[in-house]
Amino acid sequence: MNTAEEVTLEDRDLSALAGELGEGVKLAMELVVKLAEVSRADQLIDISRAHIDGCLYHGQAGVDFAQRMVDSGTSVSVPTTLNVSSLDLLHPELYRGEEADAREARRLMDLHVDLGCKPTWTCAPYQLPDRPELGEQIAWGESNAIVFANSVLGARTNRYGDFADLACAITGRAPHSGLHTDEGRLATVVVEVEVADELLDEDLLYPLLGHWLGANCGVEIPAIEGLDERADEDRLKALGAAAASSGATAMFHVVGVTPEASTLQAVTRSGGLRRLTVDSDALATARMQLGWAKGNIGAVSVGTPHMSSAGLTKLANQVSGLRTVVPFYVNTSRSSLAEAGDSALSSIQAFGATIVTDTCTYITPIIGDVSGPVMTDSGKWAYYAPGNLGVGVVIGSLAECITSAVAGEVHLDERFGA
C-alpha cells in the first residue's frame, strides 16, 4: 500500500500539511492524503466543486468537526452545495422530534454556511441550474448524487462520506483513484434487461431494477443492456438511488443512453465479463422485498431523492381535481419548487399534499403515527424507512400512489407481480 511519501504532492499540498495555510486546512489536507494512501492513489487532483453530506445531523461528532473548522477560520475553496439537513427551515412546524436535536441540527447547518457552503439543502444537486459537465472532476457526498453524477452526467467522483467531503471542499483536492480515473470507470459486469417492451414505459420498473442491481452487483459497475431513450433523467435517478441503497453502487452505464456508453465495448475491458439477466420475475421479487401489501394505507411519501421540477409538474397534473384521504408528503428542493411555479404548488396543495423541503421524511421525524403501511414511489425510501421510522412500506408508481391516496387503500398494477 502507498505511504504518504509515495503520494506525489505539490508544493501547495505540502504547505497545507505544514500548517502554513491554517490549522483547519492542515487537518483537511491530512484527511485527503490519508484517503489517497488507502485508495492507493499516486497523486492528488484538483476538483471544481463539492457536495457535502455531513450537514445532516447524526450526532455531536459532526458538529464538533464543523465547529473546529469554523473556529480556525477555514472556508471551502471551491463552489460547494449542501445536502439535505435534519430540518425543513421553510416549514418548521412539520418537525416532530426532540428540541435538543433540532437545536444541534440547526447549529450544524449554520456552521456549514459559515464555511462558505451554499444553503441548497438538497440530495439532488444535479437538479440545480449549474451542474457538473462530462469529465468534470468533483467531490460529492450523498449516495444517489454520486451515482447520478458519475452515470448520467459523466462527471467524476468517488464516494465521499462525512468529513472526507468537507476536507476535499476545503483543500480543493481529491485522490486520483477509482472513479476519478479512466480505468476505474469501466464496467465490471454486464446486465441484460429482458422484460416486455411496454414495461420500459413504466416508472416503477426503474427503482425495482435499481434495487435488484444493488443487491446483485454490490460495488461493481454494471453495463446495462435492454433499456432505451425512455430511461430519462428522473427514471435514471430512481434507478441509481435504489441501487446505491440496496448495494454500494457508485456508477452504472446504460448502453446507448448514458454519455460514456455509446456501445458496450466503449465501457468494458477487453475479455469476457460476467453477465447477469434480470427479467419480470426478478423485478416482482424486488417489489416484494421493498414492500407490498393489500388493504388500507396510513400515508404516502413521494420524492426521494428530491422531486424534480418536471416531477412536480407531473404530480400537479395527475392530482388535479382529486383529494387525498391520507397524509401525502412530497419531498423536494427549494430550487425545484421555485422552478415548478405557483400553479403546480397550488394544485398539489389543493390535493391535500404537504410539501417538505430541505430534508426528507425517511430521515426526519415528520410523519406521525400511522395505521397501515406508508406508500412510496421510491426504492430508496422503501429501503430505509422501515428501519428508520418503524413503518411498513408499499412501493408503487406515482400514479399508483395517487390512486391509493384517493381511495385510502392499496391499488397496484399487477404487471410487476402484485
The β-bridge partners of 80 are: 50
Does the pLDDT at position 318 exceed 70? Answer: yes
Does the pLDDT at position 275 exceed 50? Answer: yes
Count of residues making up the chain: 418
Q: Give residue-wise pLDDT tens across range 353-388.
A: 999 999 999 999 999 999 999 999 999 999 999 999
Distance CA 367, CA 377 (A): 16
- Residue (of 387, 368, 311, 318) closest to 347 by Cα position: 318
Instruction: Report the CATH architecture of 291-416.
Output: 2-Layer Sandwich (3.30)
Q: What is the mean pLDDT of residues 42-54?
A: 98
Among all chains, which residue has been given the C-alpha cell 435517478?
Answer: 237
Its pTM surpasses 0.85: yes
Are the beta carbons of 154 and 131 closer than 8 angstroms? Answer: no
- Which residues have a Cβ under 8 Å from the Cβ of 54 and sit 6 or more positions away? 62, 65, 66, 83, 112, 141, 161, 162, 163, 165, 166
Does the pLDDT at position 270 exceed 90? Answer: no
b/e map of 63-101 (b: 16 or more CB within 10 Å)? bebbeebbeeebbbbbebbbbbbbbbeeeeebbeeeeeb
**Band of residue 418 on the pLDDT scale cut at 50, 70, 90:** low
SS3 273: coil
Does the pLDDT at position 146 exceed 50? Answer: yes
Query: Residue 63 has which C-alpha cell?
Result: 458538529
CATH of domain 4-177: 3.30.499
Q: Give residue-wise pLDDT tens across range 196-236.
A: 999 999 999 999 999 999 999 999 999 999 999 999 999 99
Edge-to-edge strand order for the sheet containing 253-254? 253-254, 222-225, 189-194, 274-279
Looking at residue 308, what DSSP letter applies? P
Instruction: Indicate the average pLDDT of the chain.
Output: 96
Q: What angle do CA 51, 70, 144 make, to 5 degrees?
A: 15
Are the beta carbons of 361 and 367 closer than 8 angstroms? Answer: yes
Q: What is the mean pLDDT of residues 70-86?
A: 98
Distance CA 306, CA 182 (A): 30
**Band of residue 5 on the pLDDT scale cut at 50, 70, 90:** low
pLDDT the model gives residue 114:
98
Looking at residue 296, what DSSP letter applies? B
Query: Residue 384 has which C-alpha cell?
Result: 430505509
SS3 220: coil
pLDDT the model gives residue 414:
79
Q: Give residue-wise pLDDT tens across range 171-194.
A: 999 999 999 999 999 999 999 999
Distance CA 121, CA 14 (A): 33
Distance CA 376, CA 161 (A): 26
Does the pLDDT at position 2 exceed 80? Answer: no
Q: What is the mean pLDDT of residues 294-300?
A: 97
pLDDT the model gives residue 413:
82
- Residue (of 85, 81, 82) closest to 56 by Cα position: 85
The β-bridge partners of 187 are: 268
Strands 222-225 and 253-254 come out as parallel
SS3 368: coil
Transcribe 129-147 into DSSP letters: SS---TT-B-EE-SHHHHH
Where do you find CATH 3.30.499.10 in the chain?
291-416
pLDDT the model gives residue 189:
97
Q: What is the mean pLDDT of residues 396-400?
A: 97
SS3 285: helix
Does the pLDDT at position 272 exceed 90? Answer: no
**H helix intervals, 115-148:** 143-148
